[in-house]
Amino acid sequence: MPASALRATTTTSAWRRRTGVALTPMMTAVDGGKLKVGIVGATGAVGEEIVKVLGNRQFPVSELHLYASARSAGKSVPTPFGSVTIEEFELGNARGLDVIFLAVGGDFSLKYAHKLSEGDGPVVIDNSSAFRMDPDVPLVVPEINHKTAKGKKLIANPNCTTAIGLMALFPLHVAYGIKKVIMSTYQAASGAGAEGMDELKTGIASFVKGQPIKNEFFAYPLPFNVIPHIDVFQENGYTKEEMKVTWEARKILGVPDLAVSCTAVRIPTLRAHSEAIVIETEKPVTPEGAREVLGNFPGLKVVDDTSTKQYPMPLTATNHYDVEVGRIRQNIVFGDHGLELFVCGDQLLRGAALNAVIIAEML
């Protein structure tokens, strides 16, 4: 096995030359100054992670505005940028900022995203699904297609499952050409937000006490169960969550007819989504060649040594920026044009907050 198989990768100079991307904060913004930043939905799971990521990556913040419901407004919360008082959202005030992250539902985004970003308004990075398939709005995973966001004021963040999977699929597509993707996902409770994580923890506590497990946010009780149902079912028998992977992968990769099939399953873990992926490639592919390609891509960590039981897991991917990829092997159905792999990434980071912040860094 190559030495790269177990190392956490960093941005290579070759990759930077090819894409023009540097994964560091945009310190040159506003003539070397700092930025006025807002987060709508700041008390939710994704909003809280955005605050942490901004601090960890030393994003150049001059003012931080946290917007939440009237119930939370007026409360002061500690942040890496000092204590900040939560505000109710007000369009006029928010338009005076430089960058706004929307970590709320699609209805809010549909109502306010264009009003915020139009004219001299701020850049808006939307985490909802409202604009992902809008042909006029770039859907961005920065390491893959950041150039589509150039000059745009409204940018969509992908679905968490799509973002995590494409971190591994994109470099393989560049190297070998992907014809078909078959994906099965194992998605954590965090995909349903803070409420989903709370319901899982409460349900486990109820089980331990011998009490009934109640479910409100999930179709069935999640503790000690798996649920092959995320989002609403479509006419073709897939759920909307599954179709998002197909639609969004095609848009981000720029391959409108890419064959992608997904089965999405909710599992009783708190954070980090996992995905079992099978691909058929245009060119012959080997596990050794794939490990080298994946090991040189920024944001990926190859964890692939079965002799020492090293493979991706939610336990090791949680709270980490890199997406883990392993169990890399020749697929016995597609032969030398097929590969099988397993990826795991923190849904609240690479699948949401981290992706959004890196987009802002690159603008």
Of 65, 146, 173, 273, the catalytic one is: 273
Angle at 273 between CA 79 and CA 77, to 5 degrees: 15
The H-assigned helical ranges of the chain are 13-19, 29-32, 45-56, 91-94, 106-117, 142-145, 160-176, 193-208, 240-253, 287-295, 314-317, 354-362
DSSP structural state of residue 302:
E
CA dihedral of residues 310, 314, 316, 317 (deg, nearest 10)? 110
Active-site residue, 273 included: yes
Amino acid at 95: R
Rounded CA gap, 273 and 317, in Å?
A: 9
SS3 289: helix
- Contact between residue 343 and residue 165 where contact means Cβ atoms under 8 Å apart: yes
Of 65, 146, 160, 337, the catalytic one is: 160
Residue 89: count of CB within 10 angstroms of its CB: 21
Rounded CA gap, 141 and 145, in Å?
A: 6
DSSP structural state of residue 349:
I
SS3 71: coil
Q: Return the structure tokens found at 254.
A: 């720029």
Q: Is the dihedral of CA 257, 174, 300, 41 positive or negative?
A: negative
Q: At what angle do helices 160-176 and 287-295 cross, to 10 degrees?
A: 120
Q: Which residues pair with 300 in a beta bridge?
A: 323
Rounded CA gap, 36 and 269, in Å?
A: 36
Could you list the active site residues?
160, 273
